[in-house]
Amino acid sequence: MWVVAMRTFLVGQSRLFRAALSRLLQGTTFAVSAAAESLQDAAVVDGVRSGDQVVLLLQKPDRLADLETEIEGLKACGVPPWIVILARSLDASEIAEGFLYGVDGYLLEEISPEALVESLNLVILGEKVFPSQLVDLLTEADWAKSRSRASGEYDANLSEREFEIVNWLARGAPNKVIAGKMSITEATVKVHIKAILKKVGVHNRTQAAIWAVQRGLLAGAGE
C-alpha cells in the first residue's frame, strides 16, 4: 500500500464532476492538488511539467480524439504523468484508442471510491487499468471476429505487404522502424499507409491501428 501522497490533478468540463471527484478522493493517497476545466489551465500545466511524478485524471470529452495531441504531448514530458480517463459509458473502441494515445487507465465515472483508489495504485505500479465490464464486450468481439475471419471480410482486400504494415501500425511502430523491418524506404511505407487508410475507410494511422486491433490482426505479424 502506498503511503506517500501523490500529486493528483483533475481536468473536466463539468464543475459537478470536478467537485464530486475531489470530494471522493479527499483523505486518500490521491487527494486532488488542483482541478481545472481544461488541460491549458496554468495550475495543471505547471504541475504536470514540474518534474514531479503526478497523476492526471481526465474526464472524457465527447470525442477522445480531441485529446490525442495533448495526451501525446504530456507523455513526451521529461517526467510523463500517469494519465487516467474517466468516462460515462463503456466504449471498447475508445478504450483501445486511449491506450494507443498513451493513457495508463480508462475507467467509468460510476466506479466506487475504493476501486478507484486501488486502480490508481495499480497505475503507478505500471499496470494498465480498465473497466471489468470490458470482459463481456471482448467476449462478444471475439465471436464477431471469428465470424469476420471465416467470411474473409476482415482484411479489406489488403495486399500481403499492406497487411504486414498495418500490423506494425497496430504495434505503434513509426515509419522509420517499419521501413527497416521490411527493408523498404520510408517513402514506400507512406505510400502503402495512404492505400491502407483508403481501403479500410479511416483518416489516420491511429484509426488504422485501432481497426487492426479490433479485428485481431496482430496475430501473425512480422517479428
Q: Which residues does 98 contact at the CB level (< 8 Å), separation at least 6? A: 64, 85, 106
Q: How many CB atoms lie within 10 A of CB 92?
A: 19
Residue 201, domain extent? 149-214
What distances in angstroms separate CA 177 from CA 61, 172, 187, 213, 216, one per listed residue? 32, 10, 12, 19, 22
Q: Phi and psi for 222 in degrees, rounded to 5?
A: -65, 145
Q: What is the pLDDT of residue 201?
A: 86
Distances (CA, A) of 211 to 75, 89, 154: 23, 20, 10
> Given this model, what pLDDT does residue 217 score?
66
pTM above 0.85, yes or no: no
Q: Do residues 67 and 164 both lie within one domain?
A: no
34 domain-assigned? yes
Identify the pLDDT of residue 152: 46
pLDDT per 10-residue tile (average), the chain, 223 residues: 72 93 93 92 83 90 87 87 93 82 92 92 91 66 47 65 87 84 92 91 82 66 45
The CATH number linked to 195 is 1.10.10.10
Residue 140 lies in a domain: no
Q: What pLDDT, on a 0 to 100 scale, did the predictor assign at position 51?
A: 79
Q: What's the number of domains the chain is made of?
A: 2
Which residue among 107, 133, 159 closes a domain?
133
Domain boundary among the residues 133, 158, 190 is at 133
Please report the pLDDT score of residue 135 as a whole number. Answer: 63
CATH of the domain at 58: 3.40.50.2300
Same domain for 92 and 168, yes or no, is no
